[in-house]
Each structure stands twice: as C-alpha cells, then as structure tokens.
Structure 1
C-alpha cells in the first residue's frame, strides 16, 4: 500500500516574485509551508542573488513544468564594468580588473552582435553537469571546469540605463538555456573590458509577467482564506500554444487510465485532451490516435 502524501491537494500555478538572497528551492519550501500543498515545484531556477518571476507549480500542475521551461524569458540586469569575478556575479571573488569603460555609443554598437542565435560558454559556477558532477561543485574544489559551448537564442537586447561610467542596465529577451551572467561577461569582452552582474531580475517567463507576480509575504496573507485566493492559475497555463482536444465521456475514461483513444479529426503533434471542461492528459497524436504521456489526476 502506497504511503499517503502529506498536505492538501492544491492544483495550479503561482507567479511568485522571488526575493534576493533566497534560493529557488527555498522559495518552493516556503510556498509548500504556506499552502500545505502536497506537491510543489518550480520552473526555471534563479540564482540566489537574483529576483523576479519564479513560476511555482502545485499538485498536478507539476506535470506541465517541462512546457514552462521551454518558454521565452525576459530579464533586466546590471553589469559592473571593469571587474570580473569567478562566478560572473556579485557573489564571487574578483579575478580580473580593467580601467577601460565603454561609452554609450560603444555599447549600442556591440549589442546587435549578441542578438539572434549566439554561442556562449556557461559560467563555471553553474548547474551544468560535467562527467556526472555539477560544474559549481568542481569549481568550488578548485578543479578545472571545461564546459562545452552551446547555442542559445537572444531575441532582443537593449540598453536601458547608464547610471554611471561603471554600470549599465540592459534588458534581454531570450530562449531556453541562456545564462545572463555569461552574456554580460561576453559583452564586456567584446567591448574591451571585463564585467560581472551586480543585479539580475527576471521580468517574464512565458505567460508569467513581473507585474502580476506576488511576494511570499503577500501570499502568506492572502492564503489565510484559500477559497477566495485569486492568484492560483490553471494547471494548463503553460499550455497556451498546445491545442486542446475535447473527447466524449467513454474516451475520457480511457484517457484517465492512461489508454490511447482515437481522435480522427486531429492533426499529428502534442495536444491536451479534455472532457470539455477539465484537462485530462497531455500526449501525442499520431495518425489519428492520441497517446497520453502525462495524465492529470483531477
């Protein structure tokens, strides 16, 4: 007999505004404590010093996390020119300095070279696995960390502010797997200097926007009356771009048990099958047959 899961069944998404100095895992723990939800997860890790949008999945919504991870993301970051650190951010130790400070014209001229599909090497202090071990663990031990370059997509990169000669604030819209620390590092190199991040705020993850994010303090106050809580989003929130296909009740019963069903008028590809109101499963249609991969227990 399976072990009974502790907590209450809560299903949906929350748009949490992660505070600085807190890990993404710690935010998950706080949400779990506040809501007493049986299952909680997050989509898209933020570094502890970073703030902003952290989508949190509760209950059956955790089965859609992978779809959220692939969504476009937006960030605002502040680069500090003239100082490089071993972590490429404010939490590391200074490893290099430069007296050169790029002008506004220099920065604007360099930005187009970082828009589109670019190649970047993730920071040594990252969660990338090298021979089965996290890169940051190897870096902390003083081992040489050789991370292969990867291609990432930068949709937009703009200069927002120049507070002073040492700092620049930029906004970026990017695809999956982009490291903003690496972007700032490489931009600085292209400008003939070095840099590290002193601020990083995520402004968007797919449909989750900065202006709709709520703090943990606000969540704690609002959750005192869960029945009236209006910030819990549907479990299908990350599935806006995935077609929904309604099936009859007899087919719905089969889908709930993980069985395939005929959907003759549906094109091949990934779809979300519903009974007309409730999402039943995500899966793939092949030759008019739906094969469920993730079944929702709602």
Structure 2
C-alpha cells in the first residue's frame, strides 16, 4: 500500500495582525490561524502571555523567514496594576503570595516612575517561557522547583500614568524586546512600599501593527469564508519598512536569484549606506534581502549587492506584493 501524501497546505505568504483574546496561548492562536487559512506554514512575531490580549502578528509562508529579524523591535503596552496583593505569577492567574492592602498615593507613584525609564535591570518572572537549564522556567516553577534567573538589561522608552482610581493604576509602556511588564509592575510597587500584580495586559503596538486595526479570529474566519483574505493580509516585507529598498534591473535580478553578487549603479542605492537592503525585482516587488557592500573596485561609480535571503514569492500569490 502506498504512503499517504501529506497535505502541505496552501502557499499563503504575508502577515496577519490578529487580536489575541485573553485565555489563549500564542501557539494556540497560530494553530487556529493556520487551520482557518489552511496556510502551509505559520509562526508568530512575539509571544503574548495567555492572560494578555492585544495585537499578535502572525507570519504565514515566506513571512516566517523574517521573524528572527523583527523580534528585536520595540513594543507598546497598556497595563492595569492592582495594588495591595501579589501573586506568584504576577498576574491574575496565580496564587496570592503576599497581601498588605497598601495603596500608594498618586503623587508617590508619579514621583517614582522616572526611576523606571531608560535602561533598567529586571529579573524575569519564574513563570515565564525562558529556558533554565534547558527547560522552560514555568515548568520548573509549577513543580515547585527553585528557579534562578539572572537579571537582564531592558529599556523603557516611555512610562506614563494614564489613570489611578481606587487601587488600580493604568500605565502605558513603550519598551524594548525582553521586557516583562509583570516584573515592571511588581518592581514599581516595591519601590513605593506596596505589593501589586497585573490584572490586565494589552499589547497596543508591535512590528508596526496596532491593536486597533488587528482582526479577531472570528473576523479572520469571516474573511476567509468570503474569500477576502487579501483584505487583511499584509505583504511579507511589511515588517521590514525600516530597511532601505533597492530595485534591480532584470539582468541583476536574474543573477542575484542564482546566488551571485551583482553590481548596481551608485544612483540606485543610498550612497553612504552599507548594510541590509530589501531587494525588489524589476516590477518593484519584494523578493530578497541583500547586503549592500562598498563600491566595486572595477566600477567606482557602482555598488555591490550580495544576496542574503531569497523569498519564494509568486507575484500573483497573496502577500507577494
């Protein structure tokens, strides 16, 4: 009996900005998106805790090749901090481990916030997906094992108190990759002599996508059923907008696709720039990442482009342009 051929799915390429509801893991969202779209390959652009909500970028097909590049980007959050008690997870899913009932004044909170802007040191929570001795930290924590995680440097670009009513403070945070908002909340509380934990966390911005324009899983399903996926599918290079683009001639594009270093006229490139470029085919469609090198010694008025990563995109496939 012959082997059954595995269904490889549909070659859909691009990004979806999904609004993750509380209660789902990021992996579960990826799986649901993949089932709904029948995409051959899918991944996400940055984990959200199960209790958290907000924008979760989902990469489909060739877009998954860009996730390693974009995870370094800054993110924006709105968090709701409840003072008076702390939980072992730092969020509403955990067990209460300390309770003092203390609530800081708004003046005390506003005075302390500047100390948590700029580059700061924080210890990630033991209930996190970080690997400790080859295993996820949260798995060790759930077994009651001691979890030792070293401090790390993160950057808080902006920290603003939006409102403070009763025991709930609402904060807007713009931060670097690797920042744990749960830890930030508990550290702020400790600095004002209180206990606290997050009761809600909303990711507002990441990778150029925002929560206001993100689509729910239900809305995605409706778009797919109506054959209107393209209305919510963003191009593969949507998350690479900060990288300069360079359009090649037909001859240069042909040779670059063969893995060859190609020559471009100086006027086609940023004259003083050296580094990664988004390479476009002659029609202006994204097709590769390249490295723009110094001038060609044999052609002083030109530059060299070295192929770094090729993307297999058909111009008539979703997300190719």
Is TM-score (shorter-chain normalized) higher than 0.5? yes
Mapped contact 1:256–1:297 kept (Cα < 8 A) = no
In structure 2, how many angstroms separate the alpha carbons of the residues matched to 1:148 and 1:5? 44
In structure 2, how many angstroms separate the alpha carbons of the residues matched to 1:163 and 1:235? 43
Q: How many residues align?
A: 295
**What secondary structure sits across from 1:75 in the alignment?**
strand
Q: 1:124 aligns with which of 116, 123, 126?
A: 126
Task: Note the C-alpha offset of 1:226.
Answer: 2.8
Task: Note the C-alpha offset of 1:245.
Answer: 1.0
1:101 aligns with 2:116: no
Mapped contact 2:127–2:141 kept (Cα < 8 A) = yes
Q: Which residue of 1 aligns with 2:17?
A: 15
Q: Which has the larger radius of gyration?
A: 2
**What secondary structure sits across from 2:231 in the alignment?**
coil
Q: Which residue of 1 aligns with 2:286?
A: 279
Task: Note the C-alpha offset of 1:286.
Answer: 2.9
Q: How does 1:264-275 map to 2 (within 5 A)?
A: 265=266, 266=269, 267-275=273-281
Q: Which residue of 2 aligns with 1:157?
A: 159
In structure 2, how many angstroms separate the alpha carbons of the residues matched to 1:62 and 1:114? 34
Mapped contact 2:85–2:101 kept (Cα < 8 A) = no
Mapped contact 1:156–1:173 kept (Cα < 8 A) = yes
Task: Note the C-alpha offset of 1:97.
Answer: 1.5
Q: 1:147-202 CA deviation, whole Å, 9 max, x = no partner?
A: 111111111111112231x2111111111111101100100110101111110010
After superposing on structure 2, the runs of 4+ consecutive aligned residues of structure 1 that deviate more than 4 Å are none
Task: Note the C-alpha offset of 1:279.
Answer: 1.2
Task: Note the C-alpha offset of 1:232.
Answer: 0.7
Q: How does 1:149-188 map to 2 (within 5 A)?
A: 149-164=151-166, 166-188=167-189
Q: Which residue of 1 aligns with 2:245?
A: 244
Mapped contact 1:88–1:196 kept (Cα < 8 A) = yes
Mapped contact 1:245–1:272 kept (Cα < 8 A) = yes
Q: How does 1:77-88 map to 2 (within 5 A)?
A: 77-88=79-90
In structure 1, how many angstroms separate the alpha carbons of the residues matched to 2:66 and 2:103? 44
Mapped contact 2:220–2:229 kept (Cα < 8 A) = no
Q: Which residue of 2 aligns with 1:202?
A: 203
Q: Which moved more, 1:182-191 or 1:279-288?
A: 279-288
Q: 1:226-285 CA deviation, whole Å, 9 max, x = no partner?
A: 356311111111111101111122221232233332346343111111114221211322
**What secondary structure sits across from 1:229 in the alignment?**
helix
In structure 1, how many angstroms separate the alpha carbons of the residues matched to 2:137 and 2:229? 44
Mapped contact 2:36–2:221 kept (Cα < 8 A) = yes
**What secondary structure sits across from 2:101 in the alignment?**
coil
Q: Which moved more, 1:285-294 or 1:37-46?
A: 285-294
> CA 1:228–1:87 in structure 2 vs 1: closer, same or farther (change >3 Å)?
closer
Mapped contact 1:117–1:153 kept (Cα < 8 A) = yes
Q: How does 1:23-62 map to 2 (within 5 A)?
A: 23-62=25-64
Q: Which residue of 2 aligns with 1:213?
A: 214
Task: Note the C-alpha offset of 1:26.
Answer: 0.6
**What secondary structure sits across from 1:37 in the alignment?**
coil
Task: Note the C-alpha offset of 1:219.
Answer: 0.8
1:297 aligns with 2:299: no
Q: Which residue of 1 aligns with 2:190?
A: 189
In structure 1, how many angstroms separate the alpha carbons of the residues matched to 2:123 and 2:21? 27
Q: Which moved more, 1:280-289 or 1:25-34?
A: 280-289
